[in-house]
Each structure stands twice: as C-alpha cells, then as structure tokens.
Amino acid sequence: MEEFDLNCEIETIYTASTSSAQEASKSVVSHFKDLLDKNKDDTTQIEEAVTSLKEKLLGGVADTDKTIAVRFVECVVSLTNEDEYFHIQLKEILDLIFEHFFEEDMLVKITLIDFVIDICNSSWNVKYLLQNGFLDKILADAVETGDVFGLISRRFIMAIACIHQKYPKEFPISDDYMYFLKRNMEMTENENKDVALNALYLLLQNKDNIKIFIADVEFIVDWLRATNYLSEDIRKSFFLSLRSLLYVPEDCENFAEINPIIFKIFSNITSPENYRDGNGSITEAITYVVKYTAVPAVAEDAKLIYFKLLNELILWQWGYKALFKNEDFVEYILSRKHDETKAVLEAKYEFITNCVQNPLIDEKYKCIDPKIAEGLKNYHKEGIYPTSAPHEESQAHDFHVATEGAG
C-alpha cells in the first residue's frame, strides 16, 4: 500500500484538475479519519500531524485564486463533518470561511452554499452555524437582494427545514425563510412545488408552526393547489405534507386550538379557493384520499405513504367518522379479494389494527357503524391472511385522539 504523503496530496489540490483535486481531498480526509480512529483515546499522538494539516488548509482557504480556495473549503467541510474533534481543531478556518462569505463574488457564493448545506450533516457543525447566526444572515441577505442568482437553492430550503425539525427552539421559522418557502410553493414547476411540500412535511411536525402558516391564507391556498397536479411525485409529497398536518405528538396539549384549524385545511384539499371562506367539504376531501388509496393499481411506494396518512387521519374524530362513511373505502378495507403486495397487505393490517385499538371504535362516539366495526375486528382477529394467527405485536399508535371540536 502506497504511503500517505500530505505534501503531495496538498500539492495535487493546488495544481491538478478538479477531479484529481477532489480525489486528493478525499485521500486527506480518509487518512486523518483513520489516524483519529486509531488514536481516539489519546489524541495528543496526532497533534503534530493535525497542526501541520491545519496550517496547509488555512493557506489554501486564504488563497487569492478562488478556485483553489473553494477546493480547500470542500476539504475542511468534509473533515469537520467526520468528527467533532476536527471541528474543534479547524474552527479557526471555519470562522474565516463564514466571516468572508458575504464579501465573495456571486459565483463563489453559489459554490460555497453547497458546502454550507453539506456542513449541516453533523450536529456539531449545525450548532456552530446556529451560534454564529450565519443561516439567518444569508436568508436576510438573499431577501434584501431579491436572490436574483438563485443562491437559496431547493437543497438549501430542505436543509433549513431539517435543521428546524431537529432544533425548533434554537432555530424557529423566520419571515425570511417563509419568503422562500412561499415563493417555491407559488411556482408551478414540479421541482419547486415538490421541495416546498417536502419542507412542509418536516415543518408541520412541530404543531406550533401551524399558527405561522395559517397567518398567510394565500400560502395555504397554494399548498392545497397541489391536488391539481397530475404528477404522482407531487401527489406523494402532498400526501406526506398532509400526514404531517394530521400528526399528533404524544405531548400535544393544544388539541382544542388546532383541531378546527386542521379540520378546515383538510376539508379544503379539493377546493383550495374555498379555503379563504372556509367552505370546504370533508366528504369530498375523504373521497379524494380514498381515490388514491382504495385502488389496487396504485404503486406500492405511493400506497404505503397513503396508509401512513390514514393512520394519522383516524386520530381525529371527524377523520375517523368521515372515512368510514365512505362506502368505497369500507368495501376496500374489509375486502381480501384485492391483489396487493405483501408490504401493502401489512400496511393495511397495521391500519386495521390501529382502527380496532382506537377508542373511537366504541359505539358511544358514534363514529362508525357497528357492523363495520365488527368487520374490522374480525379482519384483525383473522390476521393479515385468513389462515394466519393474529399478530400479538403490531406497530399500532399509542392513541392520543381528538374527540372534540370540528366534525
């Protein structure tokens, strides 16, 4: 095996083609990662080597040739993502990168923003970005300049959503982020709509965010207009966002407050323009959902998403009640005649298990016809296949149901 030569690899990053420079950068990262792994218990053994590396990386990042500087930035980001030890050792270089970011020309910024997204792959780097306020600064700067060069990419929008999901208190949704989320939701191109829907899937898991979204009526209308798209990818992303809307956290304490809000949004998924006046139809909304669920021909991956949505829908009294008033859905869910894949049959059985274990199946709630309830119980008792024993362990919800309010 050829012996690692740091000077040689650094020289390659400086002088070689882009592809060769990237390979050299990967070699540096791999070598120092292995070095750290072997000396995890006593990092003093590698201090000299890391100090030498730091000096060379610092010189590269500060190079006046921006192409060279960007290559070294990539190496620094990759290293700091590998282990918090490297983040600590190279923090001075990270400070330099972000301190001068806004002074760079736009082409360099566009390149660097991808590294900003990559740096979000590790918790310590994310916390660093939150502490120095860089993410808020770049969003504010992009709003002020109109972001004519598209610095705030679709990847960046998703990265911000991921960070907020993990650190909602430390990184609340800002007006500047909403500006870009709304802009993508308004666009008719599938790619922009899709990223906005997927970001919404993450953001709506925090129920405190609902207040932010409903404050902008047109944002909700644009979101619901996704039902007008023929693309199955858009439909799947829309159903994911709906699932997140319906998601009930175990520690949710504001059922009474959010129940009518969620009911109103869901009731207008087939009539976005009516959302402004609140004239939606829960019956039509359920029909729309059933249209893509109770059809054997729907692709497996899509149907699995739809069943996950249904598992959230039945946590709401109005959802449970409306779903089992739909004759097509009842016929489908109780039938064993449909030719479904193993994964779909398992998802269907999990859903039925959740329905049976849900307190709303009790006659006192008047959510479901007793005969249908009995059919669900029999299906559950027989198992996924008529000849199999019932599953003792299922992935059923720990039920926290909304039994008051809308519906």
User: Going by C-beta distance under 8 Å and a sequence separation of 6 or more, which residues neighbour residue 3?
Assistant: none
Residue 76 exposure: Cα atoms within 13 Å on the Cβ side: 31
**169 near 130, Cβ under 8 Å?**
no
**pLDDT for position 396:** 44
**268 near 224, Cβ under 8 Å?**
yes
For residue 8, list its beta bridge partners: none
Cα 219 from Cα 241, distance rounded (Å): 14
**pLDDT for position 337:** 83
Cα 120 from Cα 226, distance rounded (Å): 29
The token duo for 75 is: 């190496």
**pLDDT for position 400:** 57
Distance of CA 243 to the CA centre of its chain: 12
**13 near 65, Cβ under 8 Å?**
no
The token duo for 171 is: 């990184």
**pLDDT for position 404:** 53
Q: What is the pLDDT along the chain (407 residues), one digit of tens a residue?
A: 578 999 999 999 999 999 999 999 999 999 999 999 999 999 999 999 999 999 999 999 999 999 999 999 999 999 999 999 999 999 999 999 999 999 999 989 999 999 999 989 999 999 999 999 999 999 999 999 999 889 999 999 999 999 999 999 999 999 999 999 999 999 989 999 999 999 999 999 999 999 999 999 999 999 999 999 989 999 999 999 999 999 988 887 788 899 999 999 999 999 999 999 988 999 999 999 999 888 777 889 999 999 999 999 999 999 999 999 999 999 999 998 878 899 999 999 999 999 999 999 999 999 999 999 999 999 999 999 876 444 444 444 455 556 554 54
- pTM, whole model, 2 decimals? 0.88
Distances in Å between the alpha carbon of 31 and those of 2, 70, 189, 218, 401? Answer: 12, 21, 43, 52, 53
**pLDDT for position 277:** 92
The token duo for 341 is: 């894949």
Residue-level length of the chain: 407
Other residues' Cβ atoms within 10 Å of the Cβ of residue 192: 16
The token duo for 364 is: 């006192």
